[in-house]
Amino acid sequence: MSAPIDEANRTQDEPAVTLTAPPDERRGRLVAVVHSDVFSRLATLVAFLLLLGPVYGILLGGRFYNSESLVFQLYENVPALILSVGIIIPLSCGQFDLSVAPLATLCVFMTIGLPIKQGLPLWVAMLVALAVGMFVGLVNGFLVVRLHINAFIATLATSGVVVGAYSVYSNGQTITPGTAAGSSAGTFSAFSRFGGYQEKPPIVIVWLVIAVLIASAVISVSDRWLVAGIRARWFWTGVIAATAVVVAAIVYTNAAQQVNWSILVLLGITWIVWAVLRLTVHGKAMYAIGGNVNAARLAGLPVNRYLFGAFVASGGIAALAGVMLAASQGTAVPGLADTFLLPAYAAAFLSTVILSAGRFHVWGALVGGLFVVWVAQGLVLGGLAYTWTDVINGAVLVCAVAFSTALRAEHR
């Protein structure tokens, strides 16, 4: 009789002994959290927020926290951010497109040069520029898909041809609408006002766009994060709190009143690309191709057609970036957009470590590109020479690629 009683006593005593988890178990839980999918998606975003928040707040104060200056920095980088959104499309298929920046410069020359040198209406010139962009994308697709040339080499060669094309067209000189007369001068003036920072859309349109973006952001993260194990009650509480903070910040800083048409174009094209990649079967197919092209072929996906479409879309968006650059700058200068390639790819690869675990997505590219711009601006305000901007972009690109590679290896 004593043995069963002793066994029962030991069973009752065991919970009192194991109420506190051993150090090794607690350490294991901490390691599991650090290596979790949710933590990896938030780590880079939190790091940027800490740098732009407490660190810059203490070191720079009001010199950095000026809503008009921050929005103006966004406006100045609209063409580069449009390029980053465009290259997300071929990157989602596992392909590079290095021709986008020179192509944007070529389209600046088309937009401004065709009305001045060939006498075409401005709207026709813009359509020609968009057509040229898609044609170059089609050529890239042909080189990669039909001739089986590595995308890196093919698009690098194409970019050289594009640089030569706008150099020959302009004879290596700047083209400016200052030589236009009559109705052409008035058209260019209206075009420049549209692309200028001072021309603002109606505030109702801005708030409608903000509402659509907030709803899209919630859709973008809801299923992934809920599947990742976050309780629905905590998730929706966080969503409501974050939305309230964002709306309050926009109202408090009057940021909505400072948004111009160029920024709305950027947000619009970003939303369209996100909707295609995120909400359609075509987007899912492109991500499947980028994940494993051989498996995609075996699954019956028309891989070649999607690769062609990705390069054509990338070229068309690069052309749109050129048109917007022509509107904001008002003149065509050789190499005007060529320097945008590095920051565009830095933003694109940042998307793989911002609210993501190794996957390219457009909102991460937009947020990451904006963070890089603001970080560089803060360093300049802190005394760093502006010439260090490319060094910062290069360092961010290396870190983003390294982090993304590590995440992909861990989640395989």
| Cβ neighbours, 10 Å, residue 98 | 21
Q: Looking at residue 154, what is its pLDDT?
A: 95
Q: Which residues of the chain are modeled with pLDDT < 50?
A: 1-21, 26, 29-36, 228
pTM: 0.84
Return the structure tokens found at 91.
């990157």
Q: Looking at residue 301, what is its pLDDT?
A: 92
Domain boundaries, the chain: 41-201+259-411
Q: What CATH number does the domain located at 41-201+259-411 have?
A: 1.10.3470
Please spell the DSSP secondary structure of 149-201, one letter per residue: --HHHHHHHHHHHHHHHHHHHHTTS-B-GGG--THHHHHHHHHHHHHSSS---
Distance CA 401, CA 352 (A): 8
pLDDT tens digits, 246-281 = 889 888 888 888 899 999 999 999 999 999 998 899
pLDDT tens digits, 127-163 = 999 999 999 999 999 999 999 999 999 999 999 999 9
Q: Looking at residue 117, what is its pLDDT?
A: 87
Distance CA 40, CA 35 (A): 7
